[in-house]
Amino acid sequence: MLNYKLNREKIIERFVSYITVDTQSDPNNSAFPSTEKQWNLAKQLVKELQNIGLTDVTLDENCYLMATLPSNLDYHVPTIGFVAHIDTSPDFTGTNVTPQIHENYDGKDIILNTKENIVLSPDYFEDLLLYKGQTLITTDGTTLLGADDKAGVTEIVSAMEYLIQHPEIKHGTIRICFTPDEEVGKGAHLFDVEKFGAAWAYTMDGSQIGELEYENFNAAGAKVTIEGKIVHPGYAKGKMINSMTIASQFINALPNKEVPEHTTGYEGFYHLHTMNGKVEKTILEYIIRDHDMNLFQNRKKHFQETANQLNQQLGKELIQVEISDQYYNMKEKVEPVKYIVDIAEEAMKDLDIEPIIKAIRGGTDGSQLSYKGLPCPNIFAGGHNFHGRYEYLPVESMLKATEVIVKITEKVALQFK
């Protein structure tokens, strides 16, 4: 077994150089990518990939960056790929990220920001205690960190660099791709699977060390538009229709325990994530999720029926519902080639990492890519508390994820010899 000796400081430096570039995506912009600033990191990566020695480095008109590490074998093995996304969540600001590095974490509260009294505490985030004695990277609490998914980008680039520097590690052809707009559900929409040319791939977009996922939610987005009527409140009796009041009736008509904060595992939910309203009009935006396809279809049906029933009670068509599917459970596409999951699991075990095989309570680019003909399980990138001020990344998890990539390439070369 080869012992990987990664350049820890260089990998930390690489990660910091990525997270300090603002790449927040925008769900309200139909352009592709949804924000111009995503190009800044993509162009930075083009130069870096060329400098470390990758070939076929291309950045297309939609901000998909692909590159190749050629095979160093004298026999053919399947081409495999690794994918990560460069954008960060629109849910919390990624502007002016100020990273803080906490060596030898002692298991106590971490003061992120004294002035604003922002504290990352194991009393609330118990997972912190898994990393006692390790090095954690956080922000100053005023931004997200961007480990989702710049940790994945860092790991892929670092693994490719390591393989180039260590030709004694035998591997087949490896393709990598960095995508835009994953956080707004468009990351795989214009992904050219044929151009990518891999038999299968792995997204480096999971959380806790050891995570290995090939099941995810079936997902839909729903927009509820409620029309009201505004008149002077002094003369409102029998005339005013308050759309916000009707909105509250709609919200309360859905099962109140079938929401993210009351569900776990394979349990689906309705999630109201945005609400904007005045008397004349209120708009509710939901995501609808379930792992089981039949339950997923029933959820969408129940959502529409709830609106229909309220309209009937109101005696008017005041509530309009639009539902659009976003992605489906990749399990259906990955199970026929389950050996690609087994390879990743064995790679983790070889590196003394305990695999945590579970269903994603969300989705990745791999969900859509699997349905486009590129089976694509998801591997941990190491970060925690994504999309908010309390996000953190154990450096040791990032190093281990990099090792997993290298080990997978090594195992594929041996398995298909």
Q: Region 347-355: what's the mean pLDDT?
A: 97
- Separation of alpha carbons 46 and 58, rounded Å: 8
Across 147-154, average pLDDT: 97
Q: What is the mean pLDDT of residues 157-165?
A: 97
Q: What is the mean pLDDT of residues 39-45?
A: 98
Confidence of residue 1 (pLDDT cuts 50, 70, 90): very low
Mean pLDDT across 201-209: 96
Q: Which domains does the chain have, with CATH numbers?
A: 8-216+329-415 (3.40.630.10), 218-327 (3.30.70.360)
On the CB side of 141, how many CA atoms lie within 13 Å of its CA?
A: 12
Beta bridge partners of 283: 225, 276
pLDDT at 2: 55
- Residue 87 is a catalytic residue: yes
Predicted local confidence at residue 3, as pLDDT: 66
Work out the pLDDT band at 69, boundaries 50, 70, 90.
very high
With a pLDDT cut of 70, the percent of the chain lying above it is 99
Is 346 catalytic? The answer is: no
Long-range contacts of 236-241 (CB under 8 A, 24+ apart): 240/279, 241/279, 241/318
Average pLDDT taken over every residue of the chain: 95
| Cα angle 42-47-50, degrees, rounded to a multiple of 5 | 120
Contact of 177 with 196, CB cutoff 8 Å: yes
Closest CA to 212 of 308, 347, 387, 77: 347
Sequence letter at residue 295: L
- C-alpha distances out from residue 312 to 165, 223, 229, 285, Å: 69, 19, 18, 22
Options 22, 87, 148, 410, the catalytic residue: 87
Question: Average pLDDT of 3-27?
Answer: 93
Which of the residues 182, 183, 211, 410 is marked catalytic?
182
pLDDT at 4: 74
pLDDT of amino acid 326: 87
Element at 252 (helix H, strand E)? helix 243-253
Q: What is the pLDDT of residues 374-400, one digit of tens each?
A: 999 999 999 999 999 999 999 999 999
